[in-house]
Amino acid sequence: MVTAATVLAMALAMWAPTGARAQQVEAGRAAITRYGCVNCHVIPGFQADAQEGCVACHQELLNRPRSGLGAAPRVVHYLQAPDLSRITHRLRPEYLSRYIVDPHDARPRIEETMPRLPVTGEDAQVMVAYLTSVAGRPPAHRGSPAPDPARVARGAQVFSSAGCHACHTFGNHRPSYEMPTAAVLALGAPAQWAPNLRFVRERLDPDVALAWIRNPSSVDPETSMPTPQLSENDALAVRDFLFLGNAGPAVSVASVPRASGLVPLERRVRFANVRRIFGRSCIHCHAHTTDSAAATGLGFDPTALDLSTHQGLVSGTRLPDGTRRSVLVAEGEGTPPLLARLLRRHAEASRDAVPERQDTLIPGVRAQRDQGPVGMPLGLPPVSRADITIIATWIAQGAPP
């Protein structure tokens, strides 16, 4: 009997590269394993682990029958992630490589985004080489007219009249009619996961973009995007609007709270108060039972940081030589590492947590990503200033139990 796995193996063998290219693809497979990409994404050649995968685990928790006894887990993030089976048929390889290294919020209706992992530029390139190999030969989409400013005004009209804005945003562009939030939610996951089309110019080749607008399934047969049913001229106009049109005025970048500006509270703060904050997401990775697996599963060095207990938190992180470093005590005149990571996430939010039509219009790709440690919580919205103030107060009071 020919199984699906056999068919996949035959397809991969048919398109298998040779020589140096084969080594690059194999290196890409190793990098995908090292950074835990299959924890969230469907990738050909990998078997998702229902116990280890983030998305599979969260979906299982969400769908678990309720007994009525005790508090049920509240899962709202990482319930779905893009299928990467044919992602290279649609997105430019150079964009994918830079996005993996330096991700940004491409989907404004969801709060979580691709986490910032310690991926090198070389790692990203071989990962894209692997994805290109397993996707097979892409459909040919060539020869469309170059984007023309003369079609932009018509494209803006069609974008609104055809209902494209029901699912998609285009930066901060305001269509002639805006869908009520309840109506958008009623459209389900495809609408909620629809990307901000301002990034089309960086993500897609103009020929592929036009083919996608005409008939999305011609680029990816498994896509959930419906065929817009546009005429040839209207599809071309929409493409040119997305490539050349005005995405609206930028929203100013929110100020980043500073440790020096956190005024300690007058009331007494106990560990139970900060533990409640960590319990919303942080201890999912940083607990004595999860830290090492969570870190190594995402390509980080394990730190053995335990935020679930008072003793674990005051013990700090474990350094490579086996000694411990406090996350509550600043080095010199700096900021305690715990607060620095939480504040750092606020600095990343202008790219990583951009609400609908609150686009700062920061480019999706840039020459160099931010340097230094990544902010926490990884891939999620920042901890609020009020909650960081509670943690800072607790530290200032001597971190009582």
In 10 A of CB 35, how many CB atoms?
Answer: 21
Q: What does the pLDDT read at residue 122?
A: 97
Residues composing the chain: 401
In this prediction, residue 398 has a pLDDT band, given cuts at 50, 70 and 90, of: very high
Q: Which CATH architecture fits 4-135? A: Orthogonal Bundle (1.10)
Q: What is the CATH number of domain 149-244?
A: 2.60.40.420
Percent of the chain at pLDDT > 70 equals 92
Answer whether residue 289 shows pLDDT above 70.
yes
Average pLDDT over residues 365-391: 93
- In tens, the pLDDT along 24-55 reads 999 999 999 999 999 899 999 998 665 567 88
Give the CA distances from residue 23 to residues 19, 45, 88, in Å, rounded to whole numbers and listed in that order.
Answer: 7, 16, 19
More confident residue, 106 or 55: 106
- Gap between the Cα atoms of 211 and 113, Å rounded: 27
Domain boundaries, the chain: 4-135, 149-244, 259-396
- Which residue's structure tokens are 């005790």? 70
Answer whether residue 345 shows pLDDT above 90.
yes
- Gap between the Cα atoms of 138 and 83, Å rounded: 16
- Gap between the Cα atoms of 100 and 369, Å rounded: 11
- Gap between the Cα atoms of 337 and 286, Å rounded: 15
- In tens, the pLDDT along 185-212 reads 788 888 889 999 999 999 999 999 999 9
